[in-house]
A and B are shown apart, each in its own frame.
Chain A
Amino acid sequence: MKFILYSVFFGLIALSVFACKEDDKEGTLTLHFKAVYDGQPLQTFTTYSFNSPEQIQFTHLSMYVSDLTLYSGTTEKNLHDIALIDLSFNSAGAADSGYTLVLENVPASSYDGILFGIGVPPDENAKKPADFPSSSPLSLTGYYWLGWNSYIFMKTEGRLDTIGNGDFSIGYALHSGSNQLYRTMDGPVPLVIEDGKNTDLTILFNYKEILEGVDIKSNPQNHTPQDTSLIMKIVNNLPSSIHLIP
């Protein structure tokens, strides 16, 4: 009798330990954010052809990426709240490496895809940089625009040569912001996170596609509150311009 009781007792303990271990299996997901143009890693201060005969250079590319979530069926696992992804690289090597975000302690499992927002979610966008400690990417006043009462979600800045003669005399600053321009991206890419192992996922931002149909020459800046048509174009281009490569 004693033997049976002991067996049941230790059996239950063993079961709970193994059950816990199963739940605790975790791996790492490394996200590589990269900017490309015409299939090449995008380097700042490098000349690219734009709407012929225009030529374009980029000086600064960045965006908030928020609510990074893996999903499987209807189950979602939030991995990271918000990060400021800076893709401004002026060397080929750095541009090729991109911006790396390492997400640890991801539950080991098979996932159907990844969700993430481009911009600051409305609940956080209701706050201001002063509400956050300096360690938070949301503390940066350079990413808040008073006229919109909003964070600047995405910055695309550079210079434009309008006649193709190498004179990049027009500076442009295309910034998105305000809740109506927040977008959630759904990347239905199967991902397997294995216990103790790393899984890589590359997220490409194709800026030629992002700027498709955008008339920079006519409207190189957009900071008046009512001026959203141009930036709306960019935001609507995002889903077809972001490519996920496992």
Chain B
Amino acid sequence: MKWFAGCSWLLLLSAVVVIHSGCHDTIDAPAGDLTSIPYHPVSYTLNVPASFPALEQPADNYMTVDGIQLGRKLFYDPIFSIDSTISCSSCHLQEKSFTDGLAQSTGVAGKTPRSSPSLLNIGFDYHGLFWDGRVKTLEEQALKPIEDPIEMGNTWENVEQKLRAHPIYPAEFRKAFGIENKSEINRDLATKAIAQFVRTIVSGQNTKYDRFIRGEIFLEEDEFNGYLMYFNLDPNLPDAQCGHCHNAPLLSTNDYFNNGLQEAADLESIPDKGRGLITGNLADNGLFKAPTLRNVLLTAPYLHDGRFNNITEVLDHYTSGGKNSPNKSTFMYNLHLTESEKADIIAFLRTLTDTTVLSDSAFKSPF
């Protein structure tokens, strides 16, 4: 009886094995096959403010609805960091206008040497990304933090494995890029998706300033005075010198400047070389990218190393003329602005605030 019972179990097990193998032989496609999932890319048209330049997308990464959706998930997913604690959104929080509110951003291995710049309108920056402009495109930019030992401390090989083995992402990559097999998921596609999402983070028509420029409203007297000084439009008011580096419509030229943060007798001895490390040109030592001033009052602390805690400190620095070095911007000198004039400029900077972008559901975490 015992023998019979044992045989029964053996037969049953064999039957299961046969049925299971039979299933594999007749139903399953090759391992990792995704072709049963529909691929119908729908192009996405971004609503670009009228005053802005055209949004230029790489020819091999035009935005699609599914590409953006995948990019948004990846942006908020800590899957990229070695210990699954840090995502892109850790340093670029929507509620802080896509900065993190820290002087120096924190990664898996502690503090980075830089403050997180805002991602607002970053898709329109064609002059290099990061504070020193080390990469040219958002796709290239998204590659970097993953393997930075302080930021995410991971390897792309590891991330690619995790994405391929993920229960959801293979299908998402299929919908976004039409891949036929999980094995095609790679860093190139992951960064393309993130870049597509980041290009949608646009702000340029909801601020008081934008409405004023469109002729829909008037500014208050202090705001208007600040506006005149910012762009040096009134010879009877001092030139606050802001427009040279933070010009309309993006409120940044996206160019690089030495803004008088480091005292140095010669170009070689500028301690934090910034742009100079990238170009190898001495004249670029100590230069950093001028960030957008849209939502500037929401993005403290300020400057590339977060050294100023509030906007008043920033104004005090710029109007003092800063520290001397050979390539300090020629627009940096003691402006002798009164406290009232500084207050007017801050009042104008407040008109650059767009709170809608902080709660726009299109930018929120999908998780």
A interface residues, Cβ below 8 angstroms from B = 44-45, 57, 59-60, 88, 90, 129-134, 139-142, 144-147, 157-159, 168-173, 220-221, 223-227
B126-A134 in contact (CB<8A): yes
B239-A44 in contact (CB<8A): no
The 8 lowest CB-CB distance pairs between A and B, nearest first, are: A171-B330, A134-B126, A142-B253, A224-B235, A130-B53, A141-B247, A173-B330, A90-B283
Q: Which residues of B contact A45 (CB under 8 A)?
A: 267, 283, 326-327
Cα-based distance from A147 to B248 in the complex (angstroms): 12
Shortest Cβ gap from A226 to chain B (Å)? 6
Judged by a CB distance under 8 angstroms, whether B320 is at the interface is: no
B333-A171 in contact (CB<8A): yes
Partner of B233, one of A88, A146, A168: A146
Number of interface residues of B (CB under 8 A): 36
Q: Which residues of B contact A60 (CB under 8 A)?
A: 330
Shortest Cβ gap from A118 to chain B (Å)? 21
Given A171-B328, A171-B331, A173-B330, A141 and B248 contact (CB-CB distance below 8 Å): yes
B253-A140 in contact (CB<8A): yes
Cα-based distance from A133 to B54 in the complex (angstroms): 7
A142-B232 in contact (CB<8A): no
Please, could you name 13 A-B residue pairs with CB atoms under 8 Å apart, sorted by A? A59-B330, A90-B281, A90-B282, A90-B283, A133-B56, A140-B253, A142-B253, A146-B231, A158-B330, A159-B326, A170-B333, A172-B330, A225-B235
Chain B residue with the shortest CB-CB distance to A224: B235
Given A45-B267, A224-B239, A225-B235, A171 and B329 contact (CB-CB distance below 8 Å): yes
Cβ proximity bits B229-251 to A, threshold 8 Å, 1 near / 0 not: 00111110001000111011110
A225-B51 in contact (CB<8A): no
Cα-based distance from A139 to B244 in the complex (angstroms): 15
Judged by a CB distance under 8 angstroms, whether B218 is at the interface is: no
B255-A142 in contact (CB<8A): yes
Q: Which residues of B contact A170 (CB under 8 A)?
A: 333
Judged by a CB distance under 8 angstroms, whether B52 is at the interface is: yes
Partner of A146, one of B234, B248, B326, B333: B248
Cα-based distance from A142 to B248 in the complex (angstroms): 10
B239-A221 in contact (CB<8A): yes
Q: Which residues of A contact B142 (CB under 8 A)?
A: none
Shortest Cβ gap from B132 to chain A (Å)? 17
Shortest Cβ gap from A228 to chain B (Å)? 12
Given A45-B267, A129-B53, A133-B54, A226 and B235 contact (CB-CB distance below 8 Å): yes
B interface residues, Cβ below 8 angstroms from A = 51-54, 56, 126, 231-235, 239, 243-245, 247-250, 252-255, 267, 281-283, 324, 326-333
Shortest Cβ gap from B348 to chain A (Å)? 14
Cα-based distance from A227 to B253 in the complex (angstroms): 23
Shortest Cβ gap from A215 to chain B (Å)? 17
B232-A224 in contact (CB<8A): yes
SS class, residues of chain B in contact with chain A: loop
Cα-based distance from A170 to B244 in the complex (angstroms): 17
Q: Which residues of B contact A173 (CB under 8 A)?
A: 244, 330-331
Q: Which residues of A contact B333 (CB under 8 A)?
A: 170-171
Q: Which residues of A contact B250 (CB under 8 A)?
A: 141
A147-B231 in contact (CB<8A): yes
Cα-based distance from A44 to B330 in the complex (angstroms): 13
Shortest Cβ gap from B52 to chain A (Å)? 6
Cα-based distance from A59 to B233 in the complex (angstroms): 25
Given A130-B51, A140-B253, A171-B331, A88 and B283 contact (CB-CB distance below 8 Å): yes
A144-B247 in contact (CB<8A): yes
Cα-based distance from A37 to B33 in the complex (angstroms): 69
B53-A139 in contact (CB<8A): yes
Cα-based distance from A223 to B282 in the complex (angstroms): 28
Cα-based distance from A172 to B333 in the complex (angstroms): 10
Given A129-B53, A142-B253, A146-B247, A59 and B327 contact (CB-CB distance below 8 Å): yes
Q: Which residues of A contact B234 (CB under 8 A)?
A: 224
Chain A residue with the shortest CB-CB distance to B245: A142
Shortest Cβ gap from B230 to chain A (Å)? 9
Cα-based distance from A112 to B54 in the complex (angstroms): 41
Q: Which residues of B contact A142 (CB under 8 A)?
A: 244-245, 247, 253, 255
Chain A residue with the shortest CB-CB distance to B282: A90
Cα-based distance from A173 to B243 in the complex (angstroms): 14
B249-A130 in contact (CB<8A): yes
Chain B residue with the shortest CB-CB distance to A44: B283
Q: Which of A44, A45, A141, A172 has most chain B Cβ within 10 Å?
A: A141
Cα-based distance from A169 to B333 in the complex (angstroms): 9
Shortest Cβ gap from B326 to chain A (Å)? 5
Q: Which residues of B contact A134 (CB under 8 A)?
A: 53, 56, 126
B253-A157 in contact (CB<8A): no
Partner of A147, one of B232, B282, B283, B330: B232
Cα-based distance from A57 to B366 in the complex (angstroms): 55
Shortest Cβ gap from A151 to chain B (Å)? 12
Cα-based distance from A221 to B240 in the complex (angstroms): 12
Shortest Cβ gap from A127 to chain B (Å)? 12
Q: Which residues of B contact A44 (CB under 8 A)?
A: 283
Cα-based distance from A133 to B250 in the complex (angstroms): 15
Shortest Cβ gap from B333 to chain A (Å)? 6
Q: Which residues of B contact A220 (CB under 8 A)?
A: 330
Cα-based distance from A45 to B286 in the complex (angstroms): 15
Q: Which residues of B contact A59 (CB under 8 A)?
A: 283, 326-327, 330
B54-A223 in contact (CB<8A): no
Shortest Cβ gap from A184 to chain B (Å)? 28
